[in-house]
Structure 1
Amino acid sequence: IDDQAAAGDGPDKPSVGATALLVAGLAQRRDQTGDARYDDLLERMGRFLVGQVEPSGAVSARYDIATRAPVAGAYSIYYTGEVYWALVHLQRLFPDGPWSEAVERVAAYVAGPRDEAEDMGHVRDHWAAYGMSETNASGDAAHDRRLTANQIEYARHQAEISGTTVRWLSQEAGPWGLVVRGRSELRGGGYGTIGEALTRLWRSARAEPDLADLRDSLGSRVLCLAAMTLDHQADNDDAAGAPHPARITGAWFKGGETRMDDQQHALSALLQSIDIVEGTTPAAPTRGDHERPTRWLWLVALVCALNPARTAGAVRRRDAGGRASRAVGWGVGGAVVAVLGAAFVAGPLLDGLDVSNPAFRVSAGALGALAGIVGLVRRRPAADQGTEPSSVAAGLRIAATIASASVLGLTIGAAADRGVALVVVALVISAALTLAAAAPRPGAVTSTVLQLAERATAAVLMVASVLLIVAGVMAV
């Protein structure tokens, strides 16, 4: 095409995406071999790609041979990132060529208005991740430069998308995944493109100070995804009994079918994971590895869930009904044992269930929020009348009031996140407040104050629980 060149299905069907990937491939070949025989072809294809870049930075996905011009308004979910990556290669290899301005426009467009302008939603773009890592982490000191503020924000957003996807897939592969989500089968290309995005983002994070805080998290996601990718690769057992086992072993299948890009993307991601795996010494997972809510938030949530005003009211109602103090002792003692027991088994319990801290935090927060709503709207029972139950039965009622499902759920979450000591502190504070509230005072005044305090505590519990849910979602 004049002084340009393009790859495609024929002389009248140039493909923008194929041309971009051929440029990237030949550029990498040149890096590895030092062979410059295709330099002229690279520059001609580069000029074709530059011509596809619109003033806004958008990349036209089609070229009209008849008019010798890009087709306006035709865009692709893949081609923009592919062209970005290809042009950055050319910018590095041939710094005097006409690439720099086009690279800047495409980079700004991808990190800025692209997703909204092309109505793409929150798309996971591994090609853009390739482009960013080639910009700041190619290893060529004369070429590499810092990412812009918009690119840093975009890289973080891409890390969130890919990281959340890995979390979802890993939980789906766990013992509860089949129960709550059913079985879904990802293509090898699916594992591969996620892995390519993560490995390239990891390289950018290693080179970019403003992304350094993401490096460990990205590395852990890469390790997790690499293990899942290998687990889904067909092995000798899968090929046993097949007419041609060699055609099965090593491939990635979905529904009995495999495609070329299943192998290409999966292998690309695994190969790029090697130096991340070799450079990482995974520590034994601990419950402190996640971003956790503050101790104060957990403490407030626990004390409010225990609701000293409600407990004091229950104790006073037992006294009003003629119960002996022994019932109160049974109830409080049993509740403390239940709460401390939940705290001590929190870590092993979540490990055994294969539930992460953030995921359980969301569940505990939901229980707490529900308990807060119920505490706001329910009517307070009157003092017991009639036949007096045994001390054990009365004590069980008090224990159930204190060690409710929401309290036990929040206890497990707090202990898993912040340790048993925090739960003990919450129990001590709650006990002190309960004793103070249950002290003998004029009945009518105390009853009204306790009702108001109980509802106010329920409102605070609801707010604290919602914050725990948000913290859990943000940490997933």
Structure 2
Amino acid sequence: MRRRLALHLSVLVVGAAVVRVAVVPAEVCPPVTSGEVRAAVDAAAGWLERGVQPSGRYTYGYDRDADVVSPDYNEVRHAGLVMVLYQAFAATSSSEALRAGDAGLQRALGQLLDHGDWIAWAPPGEVTSGGNGLLLAGMAIRRAATGDTTHDGIMRGIGRFLKEMQFPDGSVSSDWREGTGPIDNHSLYSTGETAWALVLMDREFPGEGWGEAAVRTIDYMVSDRDRAEGRFSRLPDHWAAHALADLRSDLRADPRLDYARRLAGYFSIRLRFESQRLGKGINLLVRWYPGTPAGVGTAGEGMGALHRLAVDDPRLSDLAEGIDDRIVCTAGLMVDRQVTPAESADGAHPLLEEGAWFYRGYTQMDDQQHTITALLEALPVLAAREAGR
């Protein structure tokens, strides 16, 4: 009897161990402070700032194993870098971040298409809603942080272009073409990027109808987008989270907040899964390598945006504590994964490694962009916890 009981107990113990290690690995959330997060933001912004070229372009990517700087470029990501550098300036008052953002902005301002009734950023070969949305969002963040109204006319012109790209159902065309106008096609994130830019325009220019234009597209994302665009599951759209978080309070109808609640669930699952990734041993077989920094960063920044919304709107207050736990855990993970000066010292080009996040030996601009935003969103959460609030 005792032998049988011991055997059963052994099976249970082994089974529990297998479940814990192989099926549901434990979360790993490295401890982190607001000071460490601020230092990580500065280091990552430094990587972007060092990559500014005389043309106003940025270093796109670097393969440290092959010691090769990527010759590729992506204009939408260029706009994303302009935007995040202005976010960094707004949060830290870094003059270096402002200068680096302005370099990218000046390049874009030299590529404008003036259509008469609207203005669009038109780098060679493309006029996209996503690129214009992120550029406009960056300009709005810069305006709010500096008080500089120099570019107000251009901002309104780009805002009118984004409204031109909206279809009657609130969906957004991905590209504008000479002779045909907005094409009947959607890209993965341009819808959310457009909505967020229009929300920020409403903040900077209240009473001009930008918020009402934004909610047309937000409502499309709430109800129709995934079905209309042929997706089998909801898109966990971090740009939509930013749009909802910055939307003025009188436009926060219940269905829009229900959508925010769903987004919080998607981001939470993604970030919990990430915290279980060790990238070695049996965990590598079960959870694979830690995710791309851009992928982790998008979920982190989306969750950070929803933190602001949950704090500001009592209808989502029940989510606040859980959201904050995910944000802090993600901040700890990403601070721990960032390349330090000591770690980069033996590399072929230390300044192309220091401050960056790599995925299997490669990093590119959007890895820094999205992770910086996620860490900036974590700063007030950590500061409040450290102050005992």
Which TM class, normalised by the smaller chain length? 0.5 to 0.7
Q: List per-residue Cα deviations over 1:96-146 (Å, max 9, x = no partner).
A: 43424322211111111112211232211000001001114xxxxxxx335
CA contact (8 A) 1:146 1:208 kept: no
Where do 4+ consecutive residues of structure 1 move more than 3 Å?
Answer: 173-177
Name the structure 2 match of 1:86.
197
Q: Distance in 2 between matches of 1:280 and 1:115?
A: 37
Provide the C-alpha distance between the structure 1 equivalents of 2:309 and 2:290, rounded to a whole number of angstroms. Answer: 30
> Which amino acid in the other structure matches residue 38 of structure 1?
H
User: When the two structures are superposed, what TM-score results if normalisation uses the length of structure 2?
Assistant: 0.66
CA distance in 1, matches of 2:140, 2:199: 10
> Does residue 55 of the first structure (1) align with residue 168 of the second (2)?
yes
Q: Could you say what secondary structure the match of 1:195 adopts?
A: helix
Q: Provide the C-alpha distance between the structure 2 equivalents of 1:179 and 1:54, rounded to a whole number of angstroms.
A: 45
Distance of 2:156 and 2:168 partners within structure 1? 21
2:133 paired residue number: 20
Alignment pair present for 1:181 and 2:181: no
Name the residue aligned to 2:253: 148
Note closer, same or farther for the CA distance 1:146–1:282 as it changes in structure 2 (3 Å cut). Answer: farther
Deviations 1:135-181 (A, max 9, x none): 14xxxxxxx33521111111111111110111111122399861651
Partner of residue 194, structure 1: 299
1:105/1:182 CA distance change after superposition, 3 Å: closer
Q: Which runs of 5+ in 2 are unaligned?
A: 1-114
- Equivalent residue number for residue 56 of structure 2: none
Aligned pair partner of 1:135 in 242, 247, 254: 247
Instruction: Show the counterpart of 1:116.
Output: 227
Alignment partner of 1:40: what SS?
helix
- 1:26 and 1:208 map into 2 onto residues whose CA distance is 27
1:8–1:18 CA contact under 8 A, matched in 2: no
The SS at the match of 1:31 is helix
Identity %: 34
Q: 1:163 — aligned with what?
A: 268
Maintained 8 Å contact 1:61/1:76 = yes
Letter in 2 for 1:61: S
More helix per residue: 1
Say whether the 8 Å CA contact 2:331–2:375 is kept in structure 1. yes
Higher relative contact order (CA 8 A, sep 6+): 2
Aligned residue in 1 for 2:348: 243
Provide the residue aligned with 1:105 in structure 2: 216
Structure 1 unaligned spans of 5+: 137-143, 284-476
Q: 1:236 to 1:2 in 2, by over 3 A?
A: same
1:38 maps to 2:143 = no
Matched, 1:270 2:379: no
Corresponding residue SS for 2:274: helix
Per-residue CA distance 1:182-227 (angstroms, 9 max, x = gap): 5323222112111110100000111111100000000000000111
Aligned length: 273
Corresponding residue SS for 1:258: strand
Q: Distance in 2 between matches of 1:145 and 1:177?
A: 50
Q: 2:186 is aligned with what amino acid? A: Y
Q: 1:252 aligns with which of 348, 357, 360?
A: 357
Q: Cα gap change, 1:270/1:62 in structure 2, threshold over 3 Å: closer, same or farther?
A: same
* Offset at residue 228 of structure 1 (A): 0.8
> How big is the shift at 1:266?
0.8
CA RMSD of aligned residues (A): 2.1
- Is 1:9 aligned to residue 123 of structure 2? yes
Contact preservation (8 Å) 2:118, 2:161: yes
Please say if residues 128 and 175 of structure 2, whose CA atoms lie closer than 8 Å, have aligned partners that are also in contact.
Answer: yes
1:281 to partner: Cα distance: 5.0
| Whole-Å separation in 2 of the counterparts to 1:252 and 1:50 | 36
Tell me, in whole angstroms, the C-alpha distance in 2 between the residues paired with 1:168 and 1:177.
Answer: 15
Distance 2:119 2:270 in 1: 38
